[in-house]
Chains A and B, each alone.
Chain A
Amino acid sequence: MKETAIPEALGGESFELEAQEGWLSWVASVDHKKIGIMYLFSALIFFLVAGVLALVMRIQLAVPGNHFLSPAVYNQIFTMHGTTMIFLVVVPALIGFANYLVPLMIGARDMAFPRLNALGFWVQIFGGVMLYFSFATSGVNGGAPAVGWFSYAPLSETAFSYGPGVDYWVLGLLGIGVGTLTAGINLITTTICMRAPGMSIRRLPLFVWMTLITGFLIVAVMPIFNAGLVMLLIDRLLNGHFFRADTGGSAVLWQHFFWAFGHPEVYIMVLPAFGMISEIVPVFSGKPIYGYDFVAASTVAIAFLSMTVWAHHMFAVGLGHAFDLFFGITSMAIAVPTGVKIFNWTATMYQGRVRFTTSMMFAVGFLLMFTIGGLSGVAFAVVPIDWQLTDSYFVVAHFHYVLFGGTAFAVFGGAYYWFPKMSGRMLDERWGKVHFWLTLIGFNLTFMIQHVLGMFGMPRRVFTYPALPGWETMNMISTIGAFILGFSVLIFLVNVVLSLRGGKVAGDNPWGAWTLEWATTSPPPEENFERVPPIHGRRPLWDLAHPDRTDEMMMKLAG
């Protein structure tokens, strides 16, 4: 009895699944690395789709009074572009990196709930496919949803959107929402319960700090959105009255539900990007991150504040000066912890030895582009400025500086940084630099001018516009920029394909980095580590390489 198969069944070979081959080795996998890569791959596919939608929009807007698209089609396209980029590109890309990296960075074998992890990914894919299936609905009112990514009621109610598009939007996003929620739960549990011995909370790599906080934010706000979606579905399918003013509901209520989720969502989409920058900048500056405690603590501050600022999306609704003032002040306050991060990243480069790898260039690009987006965000916190500029092209420019100039630059930086770990091969640096410069130029050409268009009174979400002085030129510049940006993405794809086939072999630690993911092979074996190195500080691999001046010793010396 005592020596029966129990220990063997738990730890022995008999418990192992049969090794799968071919596509089944991916689809049936519960390995966090494979799921992480699948998240990234699906995000890339949706990025290409939504990117093409963006180019189609820019063609339509290149000249005034264009007849390239009908308004009905244009409105579907901008709705799908926004919805896809947010829910199927940015969030999954960040969850993908978190999935791949968090267990490796904390010295764990896998995520806390591997099966839930796989479930979350596939539910999300299912939601995405459902959302896109709406294009296949036919009839006069068929087609994709045409209500914008925040789907304001009562436009999204059956009285004004009778086709099934919005139903697909709701059901698709519910699926995606459940997927994101499982990822949040998994990230929290993994980080709290699965750390290797010595990996205390205050030694976590900052990327893990940021994904931990992101996990809490997801768990806090995703249910609000899912509840709102269900209410909208009840209105639409069961003739409910939640958001219908004509039968006693409230159109403003939907906005509260949406933005109470929607603004924290912005931080869900940017905190992990902050985490990537906090890994990349120190490594290529040859220094530890400046002010670790402050970078981590400011993240917690941002997470709390992010739940108190939602109504700055509603300053134009007319809810009263006291209301607007409150949310204006909280929105300004959130700039402070964000600024702390910017200063710390900058200070990290000082007295360092900065290596200009493609990854570092994207990180520096992030630093400057995100600062522009952050500062125009401060302008929107100033209520009267928001009264003028909200729902204009100024706001389109602003959030693209945050989400593309910010998150996408960081994700590209992360891609160049961790691709060697994931594939075992380096991405080509020459192609990488071409990619970077084209992205920087294309991005700024597209979106910088949109600030001016907004100031000149161009509302967002218009399928065409009158030939007012200057508008034509400015829109043409933006369209040209968009095509340069689109071309830069092609360069990236070429780089990925070529490097996967014949890139330089990476080795365990090509960048001379210090966190645990670089202590194993590239790509890591299924169990991640043969042996986790001893952890006595925040940079275990630095300590190994410099036993005479470990972080612990140097911090003591510095007091």
Chain B
Amino acid sequence: MPGPYTVNAFTLAPASPQAAAISQLFVGTLIFLGAILALITFLVIYALIRYRDRPGAPEAQQNFGSRKLELLWTAVPILSLAVLTGLMFRTMIVSDPPTADAKPDLRIVAHQWWWEIYYLKSGVVTANEIHIPVGKRLLVDFRSADVIHDFWAPDLGRKIDIVPGHPNRLWIEADRGGTYLGACAEFCGNEHAWMRFLVIADPPGEFAAWLKEQANVPPKPATADEQLGAKIYRERICTNCHLTGVGPDLTHVASRRTLGAGAVENSPANLAAWLHDPNDFKPGSNMPNFKLSDDEVRALVAYLETQK
């Protein structure tokens, strides 16, 4: 994977209020549970040392239990878990605010094994890369095109399943700029491992510029190679998948950072290798090997690299 990512430890570096709330609760819970573990470990080790069988050790006391103690170690856990339940309820609301009747800003459609992203207000369509403006909450509507997937960007907050026939909604936001790595977290078949995505949080100005760029039509192919590539692209039925949502829309493919939903960095050399045989990077991916010649690959790469 290319590029400097934020290390995905939501516990250390939450990048949104939602993730921060969960992180806080998690750290608190870990301390609480750690204390219990330390107590039990101490009690066990102490008993083992103090009451070990050795010459001259006193005979074992035949006692059968104590109601008082039983009551104590039933009541104390109940009380502390009741407190934890209260904290949990508060955090649920902060980390997954109600979506009510708000209109979604984004629609994310999960496919085997890539992500399709629609900006509903501007009509921009992209894949495997979600650009958001820093500090603004966006409502996402999740749909599945096939099996169950799960959207998980640990720095930004909770994960959510994407279930066919069961649309889900979630607010996403980032309160500081950065590139956050996400992944499909529900096993979804062969290439589940390479169903990654990036959330790129930019200052609002940069985000607006990006959105505008994505809405533009890319330049017409100029050189001979580029024109040949465009021809192959049309004639080799690439569009049968890449314009119909079976595969990612390639209108601005050269502007993206990865190929194959995170399988490899998006560079001309990798694109060429990908076109030669997608199975090299992503075995079992739905992109067939078209057995393209070197010249065809060179032309296609030249063409696709213009699609910024």
Q: Which residues on the B side are within 8 Å of A147 (C-beta)?
A: 187
* Contact residues of B between 167 and 203, Cβ < 8 Å to A: 168, 181, 183-193, 196
- The reply to whether B65 and A344 contact each other, CB–CB distance below 8 Å, is yes
How far apart are the CA atoms of A241 and B70 in the complex, in Å? 51
The answer to whether A368 touches B44, judged by C-beta atoms less than 8 angstroms apart, is: yes
Which residues of B are found within 8 Å of A250, using beta-carbon distances? Answer: 165-166
In the bound complex, do residue B85 and residue A292 qualify as a contact, i.e. CB atoms below 8 Å apart?
Answer: no
Check: B288 CB closer than 8 A to any chain A CB: no
Q: Residue on A with the closest CB to B184?
A: A459
Pick from B24-32, B117-125, B296-304 the stretch touching chain A. B24-32
Give complex CA distance A372, B70 in Å: 21
Contact assessment for B185 and A459 in the assembled complex, using a CB-CB cutoff below 8 Å? yes
Assembly CA distance A391 to B184 (angstroms): 10
Taking a contact as CB atoms under 8 Å apart, the answer to whether A384 and B92 are in contact is: yes
Q: How far is the CA of A223 from the CA of B166 in the complex (A)?
A: 27
Check if A367 sits within 8 Å of B53, measured CB to CB: no
In the assembled complex, the Cα of A293 lies from the Cα of B147 at a distance in Å of 48
User: How long is the Cα–Cα vector from A549 to B63 in the complex, in angstroms?
Assistant: 12
Does B216 belong to the interface (CB within 8 Å)?
Answer: no
Asked if A462 is an interface residue, CB under 8 A from chain B, the answer is: yes
B65 touches A152 (CB 8 A): no
Q: Give bound CA distance, A342 to B40, whole Å.
A: 8
Interface string of B108-147 (1 = CB under 8 A from A): 0000100000000000000000000000000000000011
Segment from B153-161, B218-226, B240-248 that makes contact with A: B153-161
Flag whether B37 is at the interface (Cβ < 8 A). yes
Q: Give B287 Cβ to nearest chain A Cβ, in Å.
A: 15
Total B residues in contact with A, Cβ cutoff 8 Å: 85
Q: Does B283 lie within 8 Å of A70, measured CB to CB?
A: yes
Category for how many chain A residues contact B: 35 or more
- Asked if residues A356 and B163 are in contact (CB atoms below 8 Å), the reply is no
- Which A residues are in CB contact (< 8 Å) with B238? none
Q: Which residue of A70, A146, A372, A391 is within 8 Å of B37 (Cβ)?
A: A372
Instruction: Write out the residue numbers on chain B whose beta carbons fall within 8 Å of the beta carbon of A353.
Output: 51-53, 57-60
Q: Are B95 and A71 in contact (CB under 8 A)?
A: no
Which residue in chain B gives the minimum CB-CB distance to A454?
A: B154
Known contacts A354-B48, A371-B40, A388-B158, A252 near B62 by CB under 8 Å? no
Tell me if B91 counts as interface (CB < 8 A to partner A): yes
Q: Tell me whether A368 and B146 are in contact in the complex, defined as CB-CB below 8 angstroms, given that A251-B163, A354-B53 are known contacts.
A: no
Q: A245-B165, A379-B29 are in contact. Are A287 and B61 (CB under 8 A)?
A: yes
**A332→B84 CA distance, assembly (Å):** 9
B81 CB within 8 Å of chain A: yes
B262 at the interface (CB under 8 A from A): yes
| A29 close to B (CB within 8 Å) | no
* Bound-state Cα–Cα, A367 to B44, Å: 8
Q: Is the CB of A148 within 8 A of B88?
A: no
Give Cα A287–Cα B196 distance, bound, in whole angstroms: 56
A463 at the interface (CB under 8 A from B): yes
User: Which residue of A318, A332, A351, A376 is within 8 Å of B160 (Cβ)?
Assistant: A318
- Residue of A245, A339, A356, A385 near B52 (CB, 8 A) is A356
Q: Does A352 contact B (CB under 8 A)?
A: yes
Name A388's contact: one of B33, B93, B159 (CB within 8 Å): B159
Give CA–CA (A294, B65) in the complex, Å. Answer: 9
Decide yes or no: A382 and B25 within 8 Å by CB, A288-B64, A339-B77, A468-B7 being known contacts. yes
Residue of chain B at shortest CB distance from A538: B64
| CA distance in complex: A48, B62 (Å) | 41
Q: B51, A285: Cβ atoms under 8 Å?
A: yes
CB within 8 A of A245: which of B66, B95, B164? Answer: B164
**CB within 8 Å for A383 and B92 given contacts A154-B147, A390-B159:** yes
Separation of A389 and B188 alpha carbons in the complex (Å): 18
Say yes or no: is B8 at the interface (Cβ < 8 Å to chain A): yes
B146 and chain A: residue at smallest CB distance: A160
A368–B1 contact, CB under 8 A? no
State whether the Cβ of A20 lies closer than 8 Å to any Cβ in chain B: no
Q: Are B262 and A466 in contact, CB atoms less than 8 angstroms apart?
A: yes
A252 and B152 contact, Cβ closer than 8 Å, known pairs A160-B189, A290-B65, A332-B81: no
Q: Shortest beta-carbon distance, A80 to chain B, in Å?
A: 14
B158 contacts A384, C-beta separation under 8 Å:
yes
Nearest to A148 among chain B residues (CB) is B187
Q: How far is the CA of A325 from the CA of B85 in the complex (A)?
A: 9
Cβ–Cβ contact B166 & A252, under 8 A: yes
CB of B96 closer than 8 Å to a CB of A? yes
Give residues 11-30 of A contacting B (CB, 8 Å): none
In the complex, A417→B187 CA distance in Å?
Answer: 40
Knowing A287-B61, A371-B40, A388-B159, say if A376 contacts B33 (CB, 8 Å): yes
A129 proximal to B (CB < 8 A): no
> In the complex, which residues of chain B have a beta carbon less than 8 angstroms from the beta carbon of A388?
10, 19, 22, 26, 154, 157-159
Cβ-defined partner of B33 (8 Å) among A346, A375, A392:
A375
CB contact list, A225-243 vs B, under 8 A: none
Q: Hey, which chain A residues are within 8 Å of B183, CB to CB? A: 457, 459, 462
Partner of A349, one of B44, B66, B93: B44
Smallest CB–CB gap between B98 and chain A, Å? Answer: 8
On whether the beta carbons of A379 and B166 are closer than 8 Å, the reply is no
**A-chain residues with CB within 8 Å of residue B112 when the two chains form the complex:** 160
The residues of B that contact A527 with a CB separation of less than 8 Å are none
* Interface hub of B91, B165, B283 (most chain A Cβ within 10 A): B165
The residue from B21, B47, B181, B186 contacting A346, defined by CB atoms under 8 A apart: B47
B112 → A minimal CB distance (Å)? 8
Within 8 A of B (CB), among A334-380: 335-336, 339-340, 342-344, 346-347, 349-356, 364, 367-368, 371-372, 375-376, 378-379
Contact flag A317-B60 (CB < 8 Å), given A148-B187, A364-B48: no
**Contact B154 A457, beta carbon cutoff 8 Å:** yes
A304 within 8 A of B: no
When distances are taken between beta carbons in the complex, the residues of chain A under 8 Å from B284 are 70-72
Contact indicator A75/B190 (Cβ below 8 Å): yes
Q: Shortest beta-carbon distance, A328 to chain B, in Å?
A: 6
Task: Tell me whether A294 and B57 are in contact (CB under 8 A).
Answer: no
Residue of A nearest to B76 (CB): A339
Given contacts A71-B283, A325-B89, A346-B40, whether A470 and B147 have CB atoms under 8 Å apart is no
Contact partner, B93, options A294, A321, A376, Cβ 8 Å: A321
B78 sits at the interface (CB 8 A): yes
Choose among B44, B61, B73 the residue that contacts A364 (Cβ–Cβ < 8 A): B44
Asked if A468 meets B5 with Cβ closer than 8 Å, knowing A245-B166, A318-B163, the reply is: yes
Contact present for A328 and B61 (CB under 8 Å): no
Q: Shortest Cβ distance from B82 into chain A, in angstroms?
A: 9
B26 near A252 with CB under 8 A, answer: no
State whether the Cβ of B215 lies closer than 8 Å to any Cβ in chain A. Answer: no
Which of A251, A340, A354, A461 lies in contact with B187, CB distance below 8 A?
Answer: A461
* A219 CB within 8 Å of chain B: no
Chain A residues near B306: list those with CB within 8 A: none
Contact: B51 with A555, CB < 8 Å? no
Set of chain A residues within 8 Å of B92, measured between Cβ atoms? 321, 324-325, 383-384
- Chain B nearest CB, measured from A373 CB (Å): 11
Partner of B161 from A294, A318, A554 at Cβ < 8 Å: A318
Instruction: Report 6 cross-chain contacts, Cβ distance below 8 Å, ordered by A residue.
Output: A316-B186, A353-B53, A378-B33, A387-B159, A392-B185, A460-B185
- What are the nearest 8 A-B pairs in CB distance? A245-B165, A457-B8, A286-B60, A387-B158, A466-B1, A291-B65, A462-B193, A318-B168
**Inter-chain pairs besides A317-B166, A340-B73, 19 sampled, C-beta below 8 Å:** A152-B147, A152-B148, A245-B164, A290-B64, A291-B65, A316-B158, A325-B92, A336-B77, A344-B70, A347-B65, A347-B69, A349-B47, A371-B40, A378-B84, A384-B22, A387-B158, A388-B10, A388-B159, A391-B186
